[in-house]
Structure 1
Amino acid sequence: MWFDAQGNFDRFSSKDSIIYYLDKTKDAGFNTVVIDARGLNGYANYSSKILPLARPNQDWDYLQFFIDESRKRNLEVCVSATIFPAGRPFNRTGVAYDDNRWDGKTSILYTPDGMIDIKDDTTKVATFLNPIFPEVQNYCLSFIKELVTNYDIDAFALDYCRYSGIESDFSEASKKGFENYIGKEVANFPTDIFTWQKDEKGEYYVSDGELAPLWYEYRSMVIHDFVKKAKEEIKAIKPSVRLEYWNASWHHVLYRQGQNWANKNYDPYGEYPWASKNYKNTGFAEHLDRYMDGAYLERVYGLDDPESIEFAYEKGKRLIGGENVMVGSIYAQAHDIMEDAAYVSLEQTEGLVVFDISQVIQFDLWDEFKRAIDKYESQK
């Protein structure tokens, strides 16, 4: 069960509430909780010497209390943290707005209207730091190491460990990094990567240029290399802590964010025009202990239906290729299908992740999950 910090900030500001919902989670049959330690604003939901505190006036450690109470209930604890987000553009709050050391280190977006700093784009869910900068990566690794060192956890999940979208990052630093990667200068940047065009409805779309596949490969390799570093840092501190990663199941469009969660034997070259010959080498499945396959879909059944949860899991297992443990992840907002979705997740993958508890509470889904878990357990 995922306890999203941002969506439950007020609900979990009291110890009594945390205890109550941990009891509900345990009674429903769950054996693990995912606790957010860092939100989209970059603030810490734990006692940090690196990050500003999300609850500066609170006299108890949010994360430590969750861990202590989870242990009393024999629940495993996976701590999640947003990695590259550092603020919220819609209200200009967060680390990127508080600390001028991140000036010039946030993502530059290439939009139909030109270049814009993501800090100033109020349509974006988060202000992303640019992962090409070593100081950004070191900063992110520092709070990962702080959490793994200071807390008794079973797993660590990388969240938002990606680029914000296809329009990022088009900074001069990323241009130089790309040129170093391909071994030549880009004559026309960014149009050699792609251009924005309008369709018959007047809506903008991306038209790939000649260097687009190499650009997508380069960005995915940046994320691949960071995931590898995170794994190495975690295992150097506590080898028993699992590295986990949540990602959407629709792999074929995630090149836009630089996320290749597949194994290196899966080769999309020839199947998709965006894929380069070496895109397969950016697959980071081998660096994960567990992959959460986000099948946030509204239909459960249909192995031949690309919009079904069953299809997503079958494809996920094929792309992972046994490199790590794949667990099914479902979105509780689709409350009408939760019982079947939960059962299929348990039956067709190595486990179940529910995002998030706020929708479980809103739609009172506790009994649905208990029935699904009990049904699966009775058939083992």
Structure 2
Amino acid sequence: MKQTLPETANILWVDFLANGQRLAEHSEQVRLIENAINSGVTHLIIDAKVPYGQTTYPSKFAYHISSWSDGSYQMWEGRNFLSEFLSKTKGLDIQVLANVDVFSEGIATSRDGLAYDKKDWQVKFYNEVVSNESNAAEYADAATIFVNPIHPEVIDHELNIIKEMCAYDLDGIVLDRCRYPNVYGDFSDLSRSNFEDYIDKKIPNWPEAIYTIDEEKKVQFGKYFSLWTEWRALNIKKFVHRAREVVKLHNPDFLFGNYVGSWYPLYYNEGVNWGSETYQPESDWTSDNYSVSGLAEELDFIMTGCYYPEVYIEEAVNNKRPENWYSVEGAVDKSLEVINGSIPVVGGLFLKDYKDNPEQFKKAIQMCKGKSKGVMLFDAVYLEDYKWWNILPTELKDTKHVK
């Protein structure tokens, strides 16, 4: 049966790293599912591959989550989270999508993950090229190790994982971390030669022709930066296209979605153009042809993380945020502008932004449901920690804010 988003989708993300120890108890899996259904949740997203590359099911291609050397998930040894969870939702009025953290394959703290077995897979960073200093983290305090999205072995590996996931009785597949880690990667010889082929030109002053970093550690765009952003975004689009082919070949009715940050004007850092092919941004980092890299049309729907404590644009202005889209309202507006009606957009919320402020959380839900195709809540662990399950039935089932 073909799966489509309902008029308003109430999506709850269940991050395995945050919930996996608790959900090792079968009774906790049942309780989560019952709470979700009673709260009006229409879709659950569960992790099949976590941000450090391990799978929550036994894979022919990846390490199992129980193999993590610090022993955090040893209780899952010999077990299959996907099959256990799906067996408990069978026949119930809720859809389950599996998430794959695509281009993240290791954790720096314990040095677990395939990125350490396959060091040539790892993203090579700008500073490693110019001064032997790494920019390895996706953000300042992250430990995630990313791999190069254009490395042929990496592409094959990630597609094999997605193919394995499709064998489960799911309602769809969601991509996350389907991107570069940040603006500093990848500057490997492979990326250089591929980019030079793309522009049909050799670049003698590499990587400074792409950009330089000033004394304040700010990126100063170089001659080829706009073409570089176009090329990187096309690399991600090409992978998403191939992933879609894998999913739809297995089951044309599977939902195929992507999870991205809503901060589109800054998302060139991650090398992704999640907008529509019909949307051409006008920024100092965009090429004249940047719209060709838009990947929205490859998807059935997209979730954009509207991760701001300010709900209304007016709040962002009052708090002297640099742009209106530093608010849930502004972020949803920007997402709708960029997607340009091509696919459904679901606004996502980071529940930690509303800790000790349940009224603001309610307003954020209402904003997403009023402006977008629904709401995505990240993550289930905060509903447990803040004891907020009781908030959801009224907010998720209330249709007065749905347009």
Q: State how 1:178-257 maps to structure 2 within 5 Å.
A: 178-198=195-215, 203-257=216-270
Deviates more, 1:108-117 or 1:314-323: 108-117
d(CA) in 1 for partners of 2:340, 2:163? 29
Q: Residue 171 of structure 1: which of 188, 195, 210 is its match? A: 188
Q: Secondary structure at the match of 1:166?
A: coil
d(CA) in 1 for partners of 2:36, 2:333? 28
Q: Residue 299 of structure 1: which of 303, 310, 318 is its match? A: 310
Q: Find out whether 1:356 has 2:379 as its counterpart.
A: yes
Match in the other structure for 2:164: 146
Whether the 8 Å CA contact 1:107–1:169 is kept in 2: the answer is yes
Match in the other structure for 1:274: 285
CA 153–118 in structure 1, closer or farther in 2 if over 3 Å, else same: farther
Counterpart residue type for residue 315 of structure 1: K
Q: Residue 77 of structure 1: which of 86, 90, 96 is its match? A: 96
Q: Secondary structure at the match of 2:105?
A: coil
CA 278–378 in structure 1, closer or farther in 2 if over 3 Å, else same: closer
The CA RMSD over aligned residues, in Å, is 2.0
Count of residue pairs brought into register by the alignment: 370
Q: Residue 67 of structure 1: which of 40, 64, 86 is its match? A: 86
Match in the other structure for 1:96: 115
Match in the other structure for 1:44: 55
d(CA) in 2 for partners of 1:378, 1:349? 10
Q: Secondary structure at the match of 1:318?
A: helix
Q: Residue 135 of structure 1: which of 126, 143, 153 is its match? A: 153
Match in the other structure for 1:344: 367
CA 238–117 in structure 1, closer or farther in 2 if over 3 Å, else same: farther
Counterpart residue type for residue 346 of structure 1: K
Q: Find out whether 1:263 has 2:281 as its counterpart.
A: no
1:131 to partner: Cα distance: 0.9
Counterpart residue type for residue 352 of structure 1: V
CA 190–23 in structure 1, closer or farther in 2 if over 3 Å, else same: same
1:377 to partner: Cα distance: 6.5
Structure 2 portions without partners, runs of 5+: 1-11, 68-75, 318-323
CA 378–120 in structure 1, closer or farther in 2 if over 3 Å, else same: closer
C-alpha distance after superposition, 1:170-201 (max 9, x if no partner): 10100001000000101100000111102xxx
d(CA) in 1 for partners of 2:137, 2:306? 31
Counterpart residue type for residue 274 of structure 1: W
d(CA) in 2 for partners of 1:172, 1:299? 43
Structure 1 portions without partners, runs of 5+: none
Match in the other structure for 1:372: 395
d(CA) in 2 for partners of 1:240, 1:366? 31
Deviates more, 1:130-139 or 1:359-368: 359-368
Identity between Structure 1 and Structure 2 (%):
29
Whether the 8 Å CA contact 1:90–1:124 is kept in 2: the answer is no
Could you tell me the TM-score, scaled by structure 1's length? 0.92
d(CA) in 1 for partners of 2:189, 2:373? 43
Whether the 8 Å CA contact 1:339–1:371 is kept in 2: the answer is no
Deviates more, 1:298-307 or 1:282-291: 298-307
Match in the other structure for 2:121: 105
Whether the 8 Å CA contact 1:45–1:53 is kept in 2: the answer is yes
d(CA) in 1 for partners of 2:251, 2:56? 21
Q: Find out whether 1:10 has 2:21 as its counterpart.
A: yes
Whether the 8 Å CA contact 2:106–2:115 is kept in 1: the answer is yes
Whether the 8 Å CA contact 1:36–1:45 is kept in 2: the answer is yes
CA 237–377 in structure 1, closer or farther in 2 if over 3 Å, else same: farther
d(CA) in 1 for partners of 2:142, 2:402? 45
d(CA) in 2 for partners of 1:123, 1:297? 19
1:72 to partner: Cα distance: 4.2
1:120 to partner: Cα distance: 9.3
Q: Secondary structure at the match of 1:376?
A: coil
